[in-house]
Amino acid sequence: MKDLKQWGIHWFRRDLRTYGNEALEENRARTGGKTLGLFCFDAKFLSRTDFSANRFAFFLKTIEALREELRSQGGDLLVIDCLPEEAFERIFAFAKQNKLSPPSIVTFNRDYEPFARIRDEGMEKFFAKEGVMLQTRRDHLLFEPHEILREEGPDGYYRMYSPYAKKWAVAMRGPEGKKRLAEVPPLSGYAAYVKKNRFAFTWADLQKLPGFPFADAYDAFKKQNDKNVQVKIPDAGMKTGIQLLDEFREKLAAYEDKREIPAAFNTSEFSRFFKNGSLTLPSVIKELKLDRPVNDLTRGCEKFLKELIWREYYYSILFHRPDVERNPFQLKYKDLEWRYSEEDLQRWIDGKTGFPIIDAG
């Protein structure tokens, strides 16, 4: 058995890539490569009213691409059907049972949605109680919600996009923004990066021991979900995201004029890669050189940058006003009376509303 006095777990969430993943790299550096990847999935997600088998299939493809990346570098990923606190409790109990040291470090990248913040606050307390070093990093945003403020204090967030965007753009082109973008590795280095052995530990090393508490749940999730997939699922993962970004470079000049013309196919299609962390907003800004002075940007570049800023603005709103998940941002509209018409609903279903863009969809 390998010396496990220093080993770690990187808890993947919405950072499903190895390249440019600072929290994962921190773990690897501190453990000499003895870092295991873990993804905790709650099967109750499958019963949500907004669940989509097609969307979930793309997510599973992203997970598979991440696992391939890790294995190509000598590492591994375990996908389990278990909430994180229970998962780590069972891992620590397993280590104790086999007289192993528990993980010396756990890492993850920060998230800002209400559910994630509550979960992470609980996990921070859990790791502190267990005496395990926890390291977290900023990842998919260039600026976190608490960094771009109108004024200090809990009520100091921006309510309007335009002033937020101006301050954000100044910060991006300022010393801290330049430093952060300089630290983002160029995507041209991805192919060579994933071919190099960086890890010295896999879950198989632990599965040899008695009482290993988990079976990998990936295949079971995929088999169950594939029964309900209705469309061809596109390729996923960072490699595909980089290819998509390269294709978008040619569309960028005309983005301002063509982005809203469905037949032009001139949108970036990055959203599904942002969602799972195969691409990040900082990496896209760096690759497309959107941090140049405003006068050096084409109209298409300027428009696309504004839309990326909008993404960070909405995270700011969600962070400071978590109630917007279920309520209107302006509470005066909370009791707005909606018009309900079965006849109009049927027209929408039949594509006969009289609005061409809606009916075409």
Domain count, the chain: 1
CA atoms within 13 A on the CB side of 270: 23
**Single-letter amino acid, residue 236:** A
| CA distance linking residue 225 with residue 200, whole number of Å | 33
Q: Can you give the pLDDT at residue 3?
A: 64
Q: Which residues contact 47 (CB under 8 A, 6 or more apart)?
A: none
Decide if 271 is inside a domain.
no
Please state the rounded mean pLDDT for residues 2-22: 92
Q: Can you give the pLDDT at residue 54?
A: 95
Please state the rounded mean pLDDT for residues 312-331: 95
Q: Evaluate if residue 357 carries a pLDDT over 90.
A: no
Decide if 273 is inside a domain.
no
pLDDT band at 153; cut points 50, 70, 90? confident
**Lowest-confidence range among 44-48, 137-141, 152-156, 323-327?**
44-48
Q: Can you give the pLDDT at residue 151?
A: 83
Q: Can you give the pLDDT at residue 210?
A: 94
pLDDT higher at 147 or 260? 147
Closest CA to 206 of 134, 82, 98: 98
Decide if 268 is inside a domain.
no
The single residue listed with the structure tokens 């979900």 is 225
Helices and strands per DSSP (H, E), number in the chain: 16, 5
Please state the rounded mean pLDDT for residues 332-348: 91
Q: Evaluate if residue 45 carries a pLDDT over 80.
A: no
Decide if 128 is inside a domain.
yes
Segments forming the whole domain that contains residue 38: 8-146+196-226
**pLDDT, tens digit (0-9, with 9 covering 90-100), for 71-102:** 999 999 999 999 999 999 999 999 999 999 99
| CA distance linking residue 189 with residue 78, whole number of Å | 26
- Percent over 70 (pLDDT), the chain: 99
pLDDT higher at 239 or 360? 239
Decide if 261 is inside a domain.
no
Looking only at Cα atoms, what is the longest distance across the chain?
A: 70
pTM: 0.93
Decide if 322 is inside a domain.
no
Decide if 235 is inside a domain.
no
Burial of 191 (0-12, 13-18, 19+ CB in 10 A): exposed
Decide if 97 is inside a domain.
yes
The single residue listed with the structure tokens 């990936």 is 218
pLDDT band at 171; cut points 50, 70, 90? very high
Q: Can you give the pLDDT at residue 131?
A: 94
| CA distance linking residue 251 with residue 183, whole number of Å | 27
Q: Evaluate if residue 36 carries a pLDDT over 90.
A: yes
Please state the rounded mean pLDDT for residues 21-46: 93
Q: Evaluate if residue 1 carries a pLDDT over 60.
A: no
Concatenating the DSSP letter of every residue in 116-158 gives: HHHHHHHHHHHHHHHT-EEEEE--S-SS-TTTS-SSSSTT-S-
Output the domain CATH number for residue 45. Answer: 3.40.50.620
Q: Can you give the pLDDT at residue 322?
A: 96
